[in-house]
Amino acid sequence: MREWFTPLEVIITILCVALLTVILLPGMLVARDTAREQSCQDSLRQLGTAFLEYEKVHGGLPPRRSGFNDGNAYGGWGGFILPHLLTDDQATAYDTRFDFFDPRNKQIVETQLPVFLCPASPAERFVQIQSQASTKSLNPNKETVYTCKAATVDFITSNGVQMARSGYGINAMGKDGRIGNQRQPMTDNQDLPLSKVTDGLSNTLLLIEQAGRPAAWYNRKKQPGDGQFGLSPNARGAWAGWGSISFGAVNPETGQRPPRGDSTDCSVNCNNWLGIYGFHKQGGNVLFCDGSVRLIGKKLDPLTFAYLTIRDDGHLIQHDDF
């Protein structure tokens, strides 16, 4: 028997392998993307279950951010629902009476927990925090500047709506282009009963995917810089930090504000600081107040996005609208 291939056989083998790769690779990539999308949705479902378990215990959804103008220790919804996500030993490693960046919480806060991530987004991310202990933190040392490489989160809730200053924005929200920041399903510094979500739990957004933090991404292009708010304790992107930001649409060409004020404005996959943003071809994932999860396509109307964000605007929205 021969122990080697002839040159012709080698060439034929290489061509066959290359042909098989061309044929199979697209399907393999689609399968990979589908698996990542499913894993992302599974994470949101786990978070939704944790939110509802928290609500059963405390009579309301947790604060989207604490330490907002009232002197509480800095933190957000991620730290509050932690006991409903992890084992007792892990959950007790986080103490909401201390700032999330405090040495008391540093070990768990710097731990990247898979439930807070979408695997389709870039890996190896963290949010650098430098701050002294806040006024109401139980840490008596208010002089030392603490540092923390906080692990990231790809999901966030709303603390307001930014609308276009023309077109649909004027008709919907008024000339100031904004709407009050206390009309979302989570509020600041205190629990909010589900009974306040009068538009319906299945029609009100609890979390949206805004993947890629702390970097800013516009239309699949990473922007220079380290993200919004720098090193401050109100920086966004850490799972234990402030978990909300103002939602809105952007110009589809630039990925930035101001939007145009018409139906061409982009709400999905154009800007990961304002709209829904996922590293998925078809759109981004969202979690509703009833615990359900959906993939939202790129053609989401910006006005519908705003109505889904607000818990009590009274607009009737059909599932076909989004």
pLDDT digits (tens, 9 = 90+) for 296-306: 999 999 999 99
DSSP state of 288: E
* Mean pLDDT of the 176-196 span: 83
Q: Retrieve residue 121's tokens.
A: 């987004």
DSSP state of 180: -
pLDDT of residue 27: 61
> pLDDT tens-digit profile of 268-306?
999 999 999 999 989 999 999 999 999 999 999 999 999
Lowest mean pLDDT among 68-72, 171-175, 280-284, 311-315: 171-175
Cα gap 177→165, rounded to integer Å? 5
First CA to last CA distance, the chain: 65
C-beta separation of 118 from 154 below 8 A: yes
Nearest to 245 by CA among 76, 110, 60: 76
* In the predicted structure, residue 25 carries a pLDDT above the cut 60: no
> pLDDT tens-digit profile of 140-169?
999 999 999 999 999 999 999 988 888 888
State the residue for tokens 């066959």. Answer: 16
For 45, the enclosing helix (H) or strand (E) is: helix 7-58
Band (pLDDT 50/70/90 cuts) for residue 256 is very high
For 22, the enclosing helix (H) or strand (E) is: helix 7-58
Cα gap 60→48, rounded to integer Å? 13
What is the sign, positive or negative, of the torsion defined by CA atoms of 238, 277, 220, 169?
negative
Lowest mean pLDDT among 34-38, 162-166, 253-257: 34-38
C-beta separation of 201 from 289 below 8 A: yes
pLDDT of residue 10: 65
- Phi and psi for 174 in degrees, rounded to 5? 100, 175
Q: Please give the model's pTM, rounded to 2 decimal places.
A: 0.86
Band (pLDDT 50/70/90 cuts) for residue 124 is confident
* In the predicted structure, residue 179 carries a pLDDT above the cut 80: no
C-beta separation of 255 from 266 below 8 A: yes
